[in-house]
Amino acid sequence: MSTGFVYILSAPSGTGKTTVGNLLLKEIPFLERVITATTRKPRDGEIHGKDYYFLEEQTFKRKIEEGFFLEWAKVYRYYYGTPKSEVERITSQGKDALLIIDVQGAFQVKKLLPNAITIFLLPPSLEELKKRLLQRGEKELDERFEWAKKELPCARYFDYAVVNDRLEKTVEEIKSIMLANRRRTSFLFNNEHYKLFNVGGDILKAILGGKCNAEKI
């Protein structure tokens, strides 16, 4: 079956992971966001079913018991979780699934899906991080800032780390990671993604049907 990659974009609150993620989704046609669920209230402009699935805490807990989530975590005082069905739906179509989730959730998913690719987004400085939290109008500013400082050491355990100092540069760096993965030979030639490879049919026939002259005879 044709399957895509699973990407986990994670960062401390205020680093800009949602903004970066949305730009990636606009620029990369084979990337689709996994919509996650939360018990927090919607911020201005957020839409149920587009930005998050906004659930009551009782409903969220019931879905935990039903095994609905690939991962879930309680961050600050709210629950967040990733529906299993969303990830399966996207990757089964050959697309890449993007999870924009907290650090706790990232580790849970990586444990269940070892081949998932984790990207940690870093702020350029703590001063800039606090400034961004202030600009966002966070009500629990001190709590979120202290939590963010505790999450920073987790960057050591991610596959990639990217500093979000200039938005355009940040997006280009992450795009380069995603595009490079789509040129892995194990991806192109073992999952029928060679159909997306921009070479002639005669070249593909030679690759798939021929014998490498460096192989042992």
Residues 77, 145: one domain? Answer: yes
Residues 175, 190: one domain? Answer: no
- Considering only residues 145 and 39, tell me which one the structure prediction assigns the higher pLDDT: 39
Residues 154, 197: one domain? Answer: no
Give residue 160's region: left, alpha or beta (phi > 0; psi -120 to 50).
beta
pLDDT level of residue 97 (50, 70, 90 thresholds):
very high
Mean pLDDT, rounded, of the chain: 87
Q: How many domains does the chain have?
A: 2
Could you tell me what percent of the chain has a pLDDT over 70? 90
Residue 48 lies in a domain: yes
Residue 1 lies in a domain: no
Lowest-pLDDT range, 80-89, 149-158, 178-187?
Answer: 178-187
Query: Which of 106, 183, 138, 127 is CA-nearest to residue 13?
Result: 138
Task: Centre a 10 Å sphere on the Cβ of residue 91 and count the other Cβ atoms it contains.
Answer: 20
Give the whole-angstrom CA distance, residue 216 versus residue 107.
41
Q: What is the DSSP letter of 53?
A: E
pLDDT level of residue 49 (50, 70, 90 thresholds):
confident
SS3 197: coil
Q: Supply the range of the domain harboring residue 101.
A: 6-182
Residue 212 phi, psi (nearest 5): -65, 130
What is the model's pLDDT at position 135?
78
- For residue range 126-164, list pLDDT tens digits in order: 888 888 787 776 567 777 788 888 899 999 999 999 999
Query: Which of 74, 68, 62 is CA-nearest to residue 87?
Result: 68
Structural contact between residues 14 and 147, judged by C-beta atoms closer than 8 angstroms:
no
- Considering only residues 64 and 94, tell me which one the structure prediction assigns the higher pLDDT: 64
Lowest-pLDDT range, 25-29, 119-123, 181-185?
Answer: 181-185
Contacts of 19 (CB under 8 A, 6+ apart): 167
Residue 1 clears pLDDT 50, i.e. is over it: no
In which residue are the tokens 């070479």 written? 199
Residue 112 lies in a domain: yes
What is the model's pLDDT at position 118?
97
Residue 101 lies in a domain: yes
Residues 119, 200: one domain? Answer: no
Residues 97, 195: one domain? Answer: no
Residues 212, 120: one domain? Answer: no
In which residue are the tokens 């993007």 written? 98
Residue 102 lies in a domain: yes
Residue 216 lies in a domain: yes
- For residue range 113-126, list pLDDT tens digits in order: 999 999 999 998 98
In which residue are the tokens 């960062």 written? 11
